[in-house]
Amino acid sequence: MKGISSAVAITAAGLLAVTGNAEPLPRSTKCKQPLVQDKPLVNSIHLKDLMKCAQDLEDIAYATTARNRVHGSEGHKNTVKYFKETLEALGDYYKVELQEFTTEVTLASSTAFSADGVELVTDAFEFGNNGTWTDVPMVNVANLGCDPEDVPDAVAGNVALIARGTCTFVQKLENAGAKGAVAAMIYNNGEVGPAAGTLAAVNDLIPVGGLTRADGLALAARIDAGETVTSSGTYWAYVTEATSHNVIATSKHGDPNNVLFLGAHSDSVDKGPGINDNGSGSCGILTVAKALSKWRTNNQVKFAWWTAEEEGLLGAEHFVNTSSAADLAKIRLYLNFDMIASPNYYLGIYDGDGSRYNVTGPPGSDVAEKLFEDWFAARGLTTFGSEFNGRSDYGPFLDAGVPCSGLDTGADGVKTEAEVGIYGGIAGEQYDQNYHSAADNVTNLAEFPFEVNAKAMAHVVATYGKSWEGFPARLPSNSTALARRHVHARSSSAPKKHVCGVNEVLEY
Name residue 202's amino acid.
V
Confidence tier at 503 by pLDDT (50, 70, 90) = very low
DSSP code per residue over 197-233 = EE-SS---PPPEEEE-HHHHHHHHHHHHTT---EEEE
Confidence tier at 193 by pLDDT (50, 70, 90) = confident
In the three-class reduction of DSSP (H, G, I as helix; E, B as strand; rest coil), residue 74 is classed as helix
Cα torsion 508, 11, 495, 265: sign: negative
The pLDDT tens digits of the residues spanning 15-40 come to: 433 344 344 444 444 558 999 999 99
Nearest to 203 by CA among 156, 171, 163: 171
The pLDDT tens digits of the residues spanning 439-494 come to: 999 999 999 999 999 999 999 999 999 999 999 998 776 544 434 433 333 333 34
How far apart are alpha carbons 370 and 393 in whole angstroms?
21
Work out the mean pLDDT of the chain and round it to a whole number.
89
Spatial contact of 384 and 348, defined as CB atoms under 8 Å apart: yes
Where do runs of H (alpha helix) occur along 272-430? 281-292, 314-322, 325-329, 365-377, 395-399, 417-423
3-state percent breakdown (helix, strand, coil) of the chain, nearest 5: 30, 25, 45
User: What pLDDT does 25 receive?
Assistant: 41
Spatial contact of 183 and 233, defined as CB atoms under 8 Å apart: yes
- Residue 246 β-bridge partners: 99
Q: What is the bridge-based pairing of β-strands 348-350 and 404-408?
A: antiparallel
User: What pLDDT does 440 receive?
Assistant: 98
Spatial contact of 307 and 71, defined as CB atoms under 8 Å apart: yes
Run of H or E residues at 334? strand 331-337
The pLDDT tens digits of the residues spanning 360-372 come to: 999 999 999 999 9
Higher-confidence position of 13 and 195? 195
Provide, rounded to the nearest whole percent, the portion of the chain with pLDDT above 70: 87
DSSP structural state of residue 276: I
Q: What is the bridge-based pairing of β-strands 299-306 and 230-251?
A: antiparallel
Q: What is the mean pLDDT of residues 417-436?
A: 95
Q: What is the mean pLDDT of residues 386-405?
A: 95
Give yes or no for residue 498 having a pLDDT over 50: no
What are the residues whose beta carbons fall under 8 Å from the beta carbon of 313, sequence distance 6 or more?
2, 306, 390, 392, 393, 395, 396
Spatial contact of 37 and 52, defined as CB atoms under 8 Å apart: no
User: What pLDDT does 2 receive?
Assistant: 55
CB neighbours (10 Å) of residue 228? 9
Nearest to 350 by CA among 411, 402, 391, 406: 406
Phi and psi at 410, nearest 5°, equal 100, 150
Higher-confidence position of 106 and 378? 378
Confidence tier at 104 by pLDDT (50, 70, 90) = confident
Name residue 41's amino acid.
L
How far apart are alpha carbons 20 and 311 in whole angstroms?
39
Cα torsion 271, 277, 280, 281: sign: negative
Spatial contact of 214 and 136, defined as CB atoms under 8 Å apart: no
Q: What is the mean pLDDT of residues 302-312?
A: 94
DSSP structural state of residue 473: P
User: What pLDDT does 198 receive?
Assistant: 82
The pLDDT tens digits of the residues spanning 224-281 come to: 999 999 999 999 988 888 999 999 999 999 999 999 999 999 999 989 999 999 999 9
Q: Show which residues are catalytic.
A: 309
In the three-class reduction of DSSP (H, G, I as helix; E, B as strand; rest coil), residue 356 is classed as coil
Phi and psi at 279, nearest 5°, equal -60, -30
DSSP E strands in 79-198: the ranges are: 94-115, 118-119, 122-123, 125-126, 131-140, 159-163, 183-187, 197-198
Spatial contact of 371 and 465, defined as CB atoms under 8 Å apart: no
pTM of this structure: 0.79
DSSP structural state of residue 129: P
CB neighbours (10 Å) of residue 425? 24
Q: What is the mean pLDDT of residues 306-310?
A: 94
The pLDDT tens digits of the residues spanning 114-172 come to: 999 999 999 999 889 999 999 999 999 999 999 999 999 999 999 999 999 989 999 99
How far apart are alpha carbons 411 and 454 in whole angstroms?
18
